[in-house]
Structure 1
């Protein structure tokens, strides 16, 4: 029988099982458990808000959302979010998933660190970001019951020093391509972790452009 955590049934289709195995084989325990919690927080948020969402697509979005931080799926010059989205797209296409569903999962992953936009999009896109925000930032923490939080973390634990360690994971995944942090929250990660990092400035780019006026 499929596993049920905090009242949420984990998808148990062939593609979901394959995705789980791929992520399990690629990510370390911290990212793997984080990804599963993201799915659970997202699913619980959708249930609380009465949103209709395909849990299999939500699961795929959550499971692949940080794959771009891994050496195997990291490109030299794309945002890690796009790398993860591309990995999910290739995986889903190999299973013959309809193009619209592939695009929705791609969008959810690509935008999950761009606050203020996903929440206005289709429920699955919004809920991937909601799950990430709950697990990393603690947004809406008190909207979940203590029992829900405990049950999720009993099954997929937050390891000791998770807060510091997830920042370290972000830094290791992007430190070699700092330009990809322009205009997104990961600039804050390198500002904290890389003493040589120089944050790009939007206004300086405008004023220094080739346009004469």
Structure 2
């Protein structure tokens, strides 16, 4: 039976977001403290397993995404997927590579493609567009539903409900690439390889403009709440740069 899909992602309150980011900051500090004494160190060997899936639908998703979004967004999707693979290894999360890749490469298409955007929060608009496209390709409905939910909730830091493995990883991987959260859980050599393969040239400037435009045009949307509590500053201060 098909699940009920997320069709709306409202703006969280400022107080809720501030509290959540404070807790996430404490979590990351805990990781750093553990690792400073040699506990919970990320594995360098995962860099040999970062390649994107070579299935027909993965190739089609790559091509479709490239037709909709500029290189700096395409590279963001590719970096995010690679960070997700690394974090899955660190947290021992079992996941479907093809599903995670499709969600990763498509999760921001509504930021740059008018045909994939609409009046709602860009995360949900992108999810809906991807879900329809997957349906047109004859993709498995249950898998398409999981990809939809991963995309729709990828930036929802206050979400307390369950997430599929792919949803959890998309949430974490985007957090690494955008604001540097859990960066310490990706080995420095792995980070270096990802950044060499998919450079962040112009990403902070150009991605910031896309987000600012969404927040301005849709003041009630989810990303507008994040912008209101310092998203732009966090983006600019990402230690990946």
Shorter-chain TM band: 0.7 to 0.9
Shift of 1:76: 3.8
Aligned to 2:82: 40
Question: What whole-Å deviation, never above 9, does each CA across 1:153-184 have from its counterpart, x for those lacking one?
Answer: 11111114x33332112123443222224884
Question: Relative to structure 1, is the Cα distance of residues 164 and 119 closer, same or farther in structure 2, using a 3 angstrom cutoff?
Answer: farther
In structure 2, what is the equivalent of residue 207 of structure 1? none
| TM-score, with length taken from structure 1 | 0.79
Matches within 5 A, 1:140-155: 140-155=182-197
The yes-or-no answer on 1:185 pairing with 2:226 is yes
1:175 has 2:216 as partner = yes
Q: 2 CA distance for matches of 1:118 and 1:148? A: 30
Gaps in structure 2 of 5+ consecutive residues: 1-45, 234-241
1:1-40 to structure 2, matched below 5 A, reads 6-40=48-82
Shift, 1:117, TM fit: 2.7
SS across alignment from 1:178:
coil
2:207 is aligned with 1:166: yes
Matches of 2:69 and 2:215, distance apart in 1: 16
Alpha-carbon distance between aligned partners in 2 of 1:156 and 1:190, rounded to the nearest angstrom: 23
Q: Is the 8 A contact 1:65 1:81 kept in 2?
A: yes
Q: CA deviation at 1:140?
A: 1.0
Q: Which runs of 4+ in 1 moved over 3 A?
A: 73-76, 181-184, 186-192
**Cα deviations by residue, 1:96-136 (Å, 9 ceiling, x for unpaired):** 22222111111111111111437842211100011100001
Worse-matched range after superposition: 24-33 or 171-180: 171-180
Q: Distance in 1 between matches of 2:199 and 2:144?
A: 29
| Distance in 1 of aligned mates of 2:183 and 2:140 | 34
User: Which whole-Å CA distance do the structure 1 matches of 2:105 and 2:81 have between them?
Assistant: 7
Once residues 137 and 11 of structure 1 are traced to their aligned partners in structure 2, the CA distance between those partners, rounded to angstroms, is: 26
Q: Offset at 1:186?
A: 4.3
Aligned residues: 188
Q: TM-score, normalised by structure 2?
A: 0.70
Whether the 8 Å CA contact 2:116–2:129 is kept in 1: the answer is no
Change (3 A) 1:154 1:90: same
Which runs of 5 or more residues in structure 1 are unaligned?
193-213
